[in-house]
Chains A and B, each alone.
Chain A
Amino acid sequence: MDRTNGASLKIRASHISKVFSNGKGSVEAIRDFSLEVKEGEFLCIVGPSGCGKSSFLRILAGLMTPSSGKLEIQPGEDTSKPLTSMVFQEYAVFPWKTVLENVGFGLRMRGIHKAERHAIAQSWIERVGLTKFIHAYPHQLSGGMKQRVGIARALANDPEILLMDEPLGALDAQTRMVLQEEILRIWEERRKTVVYVTHSIEEAVLLGDRVVLMTAHPGTKKAEFPILLPRPRDLKVTATPEFGELTYTIWEALRGEVLSAMESTGAGSSKGVG
């Protein structure tokens, strides 16, 4: 049943640790975290707030270096393609660039000339349904539209691996559902390798081929769940008993962690899980 059987390894992270230190002391964000991701796999990392999942993603993106451990990413046949492109929770769409310039940004940095760049960007803008806003600046867009720009920017860059850091975390529930379906639809077309960080178990089960559970203080891998729900999926899958069972199983594994995290931080944060 495992669709990724036989596919080559894309990411091999072995015993990754990350320690942040300042003058007063140090915080261990990630401890001995190992992970393998296959080519074309949609991997979701779920964990309570502050469990180091965003830090791990930044290590994958090359924005941070691990304190110890080894990270291997298998480059593609076309070495001019970027290894990773990231979609950020805060959108990180440049306010000073139009939708077209934002989506074409990665291509421009790679030196792809204007005509080709605009053609690629336009086709992605069309696919996320923003053609009417192609020359708009981000301040004219809603949160959901901004994140569509963020997703289009990452996909237009055609990376080996798509990294998504709680991309729907800042959106309202309805917009989130619309974008979940959009992500599913776009991913089914290409089956690009994705590492998707979220604190919503439902989102992880809906989108992923596999869910990795992370624990906090320090962040490390607690459990792994293969998601064998049939593809192509859409939101209808959330109404099936299998979906409910998987979600609850993962929640049971996570619950203890969340409770202990709340106790260790005092009264407990307002951020829920899922």
Chain B
Amino acid sequence: MKGRGTAKPLGALVLLFALWNGGLTLFHGWASLWWLGLGVDFLLIVGIAELLGKMIPPAYAPLYRRSLSVSFPLLLFIAWELLVRGGVLSPDWFPPPSRIVQALWELITKFDEFSKTSLLGRPWLLPGAIGGSRTETVEELLAESHLYATLMRVFVGFFLGAIPGILLGMVMGVSPTIRTMIDATLSAFYVLPKIAIFPIMMLIFPDPFGEGPKIAVVAISVFFLVTINTMVGVRDIEPVYLEAGRNYGASGFRLFYHVILPGALPVVFAGLRLALGTALIVIIAVEFVRAKTGVGFLTFYYWEILSPEKMYAGLVVVMVLGVLLTAGLKKVEQWVMPWRRP
């Protein structure tokens, strides 16, 4: 009954949408009025989605909402594609999504003979290298992969930063003396942009252009975030859990293992999630500045040789990496903290 009441306005909105876009196209209005065209389109789409939502039976409401969150970005890509093809947006700055996808495919499947690299290197040679029938070794083949370079730096840096960060954070959370001694220094280092200490790292390490300084910068960024979050996590444990632990005979390491550690874990993982994102940001920035490998280098390289679709493809890789790494951490979190599973 309710649905019938909204059917008419819905039809009117769809008609208006068609007329507006058709009219703009017919009278060549897009070139000068594209911002107005898109703005009105957005409002019309919101109206249509709202009315559609009212007509959907409640059982399908979650499905409808999910499809909304997927189809809107898709719609954006279509609009982008059409605006470029219609000559409104310049393909030099905004290559159409179809060409970005194509560039991404090339990056993955083709080995760039000139720069001797690609996103994945030449994985198709790996079986031969492992079998010993090729002149290239496995290490050499891996070194050709920019994705592998970035992932290695993120992973190694993340672990080298997170493990001492958790340890120091726990100690600071438990001991007021150590906390008082270190807290101010930690806060001062925390606000420092970590990319700014990259030159110092290059001075410290014997090979300034090797992996050492890059991994060190990632590790340091991760370390401060994880330390601070772990400390807060320990301090935010409800005092009554500590009382219960002590009253039931736990002290020292057993109090730590049974009460403090699990009590702090949710905030520790919030810190790890933040740190993982930051690790990715830092490594891409470092690779922009000074690296001969990595997704960041690849992105910057294609800017230098003016290949915008490949530059965009590099950015897409970074975004996908971010989503996948965060999802992976979420899985680890559910595995470590089964009591929080819904």
Contact = CB atoms under 8 A, between A and B. Distances in A.
Nearest to B339: A137
B243 interface: yes
B92 interface: no
B262 A61 contact: no
A90 B240 contact: yes
Contact of A63 (B247, B259, B339): B247
Given A92-B241, A94-B262, A86 B339 contact: no
16 contacts: A62-B247, A85-B247, A86-B243, A86-B244, A86-B247, A90-B240, A92-B240, A94-B244, A94-B258, A96-B265, A105-B248, A106-B249, A109-B248, A109-B249, A109-B258, A138-B339
Given A109-B254, A139-B339, A58 B243 contact: yes
Contacts of B238: 90, 92
Determine chain A's interface SS by DSSP, over half rule: loop
Nearest to A58: B243
Contacts of B330: none
B126 interface: no
Interface in B227-283: 238, 240-241, 243-244, 246-250, 254, 258-259, 262-263, 265
B337 interface: yes
A63 B238 CA distance: 15
A88 interface: yes
B240 A88 contact: yes
Interface string B326-342: 00000000000111100
A95 B244 contact: no
Nearest to B255: A109
Given A82-B248, A85-B248, 19 more contacts: A62-B246, A63-B246, A82-B249, A86-B244, A88-B243, A92-B243, A92-B244, A94-B244, A94-B262, A96-B263, A98-B339, A105-B248, A105-B258, A106-B248, A106-B249, A109-B248, A137-B338, A139-B339, A157-B248
Interface in A59-111: 61-63, 82, 84-86, 88, 90, 92, 94-98, 105-106, 109-110
Determine chain B's interface SS by DSSP, over half rule: helix
Contact of B337 (A62, A96, A109): A96
A96 B337 CA distance: 8
B248 A153 contact: yes
Nearest to B259: A94
Contacts of B263: 96
A42 to B, nearest CB: 20
Contacts of B337: 96
B215 to A, nearest CB: 33
B262 A63 contact: no
Interface of B: 238, 240-241, 243-244, 246-250, 254, 258-259, 262-263, 265, 337-340
Interface string A100-137: 00000110011000000000000000000000000001
Contacts of B249: 82, 106, 109-110
Contacts of A63: 243, 246-247
A54 B238 CA distance: 17
A105 B246 CA distance: 11
A145 B70 CA distance: 41
Contacts of B243: 58, 61, 63, 86, 88, 92
Contacts of B338: 137
A94 to B, nearest CB: 6
Nearest to B243: A63
A84 to B, nearest CB: 7
A97 B248 CA distance: 14
A90 B242 CA distance: 13
A109 B238 CA distance: 20
B153 to A, nearest CB: 34
Contacts of B248: 82, 85, 105-106, 109, 153, 157
A148 B238 CA distance: 20
A58 B240 CA distance: 11
A215 to B, nearest CB: 25
A106 B246 CA distance: 10
For A58, A92, A157, which residue has the most chain B Cβ atoms within 10 angstroms? Answer: A92
B247 A94 contact: no
Given A94-B262, A96-B263, A137-B339, A109 B250 contact: yes
